[in-house]
Amino acid sequence: MSLAPAGEFHPSYRADMTIFPTKNSRRALMLGIFLLCFAPLVLGRYELGLLINIGFMGIAALGLNILVGFTGQISIGHAAFFGVGAFLSAYLHERFHIPVILCIPLAGLGTAVVGLIFGLPAARLKGLYLAIATLAAQFILEDFFARAQWFTGGVAGRMTEAVELFGVKFDREESYFYVVLAFTIIMFVMAANLMRTRDGRALIAVRDHYLSAEVMGINLAYYRTLSFAISSFYAGIAGALYAHYLFFVSVEAFNILFSIQFLAMVIIGGLGSVMGSLMGAAFMVLMPEGVQALADLLAGSWIDRTLKLGTSISFLREMAIGAAIILFLVFEPDGLAHRWKQIKAYWKLYPFSH
């Protein structure tokens, strides 16, 4: 049966926890992934580059969503953990000659350890205090990147190598797309499943009401730090994917603005939604490109001349990000994932929505 009954109606726990409510939704996802496999054949390298960006940004955003959306913690140092993953993967390959494809998960694990250390205050702090503690992580790590010549190449940055598997180099968009696609699917399936386990439900319980959770026997300190480690693991994997895509990592990329961008992705996509993380990442990757295209159209046009914009046009891109966050908070506080659900509900119930 491909139709879902009206309302919340689950005869068993199994049905309640399912990822795919209907057979068609499973088929639709399979078809989507199947079609994506053909993307390198039809899309240009620019479009593929955007998809790759959405892929690893989505993974990092999902990590932050586990922390912010599912556990109710806050982190404004996510970009620093992303950076740890990027540098660590490059370092592991260069120093120990570990194949890049193994460096990526290892970088994830290493970042999880770093995240565990910086997440320790989370066991005791919450809210604004935790925000400031993670801000410290951001600055400590950023400063470390700039000075640890042996690890990051200092302020000049570090070159990275392409993923190589069975003698095939994944150094072009057409091929690297598959690497990112595979990692994205694995990471998203893992997150979706995590939320169905005891640990995942514990995280949500901590978010919904920490006191009730503690009364129910959930170890607050344990789950709060665990959430940090998982979130950093995701950031590390994403950072490593980024490093081996760009072939160059430098400290400048992992600044606080980048951390804020991750937060924006999570808010825009939808707090506490696995799918929303990907939507938010897609939005934040595509919007600057759209604004850039608009700015290019605007440059030299009559609007440019009358308003004397000139080089100020370059700032449109930066301003658009800020504006997007504000507009989403005002008009779409539940994020894109919620809007998507409403669109689906509209068609499902059409024409008898009320």
Q: Counting contacts by CB under 8 A, is residue 49 touching other proteins?
A: yes
Q: Counting contacts by CB under 8 A, is residue 249 touching other proteins?
A: yes
Give the list of residues 6+ apart from residue 312 with CB closer than 8 angstroms, or none: none
Q: Counting contacts by CB under 8 A, is residue 250 touching other proteins?
A: yes
Give the DSSP letter string of 50-75: HHHHHHHHHHHHHHHHIIIIIS----
User: CA-CA-CA-CA torsion for 107, 112, 117, 118, nearest 10 degrees?
Assistant: 90
Residues 19-34 as b or e (16 or more Cβ within 10 Å = b): eeeeeeeeeeeeeeee
Angle at 346 between CA 340 and CA 347, to 5 degrees: 100
Smallest gap from residue 248 Cβ to other proteins (A): 5
Smallest gap from residue 3 Cβ to other proteins (A): 45
Smallest gap from residue 240 Cβ to other proteins (A): 15
Per-residue x/- track, 140-179, other proteins (CB under 8 A): ------xx-------xxx-x--------------------
Number of residues lying near other proteins (CB under 8 A): 20
Instruction: Give the residue, chosen from 124, 314, 342, 344, that forms a contact with other proteins under the rule CB under 8 A.
Output: 314
User: CA-CA-CA-CA torsion for 245, 248, 252, 255, nearest 10 degrees?
Assistant: 30
Q: Counting contacts by CB under 8 A, is residue 253 touching other proteins?
A: yes
Q: How far apart are CA 63 and CA 57, in angstroms?
A: 10
Q: Counting contacts by CB under 8 A, is residue 345 touching other proteins?
A: no
Q: Counting contacts by CB under 8 A, is residue 318 touching other proteins?
A: yes
User: In a 3-state reduction of DSSP, which class is residue 314?
Assistant: helix
Q: Counting contacts by CB under 8 A, is residue 212 touching other proteins?
A: no
* Chain positions contacting other proteins, by CB under 8 A: 45-46, 49, 146-147, 155-157, 159, 246-250, 252-253, 311, 314-315, 318
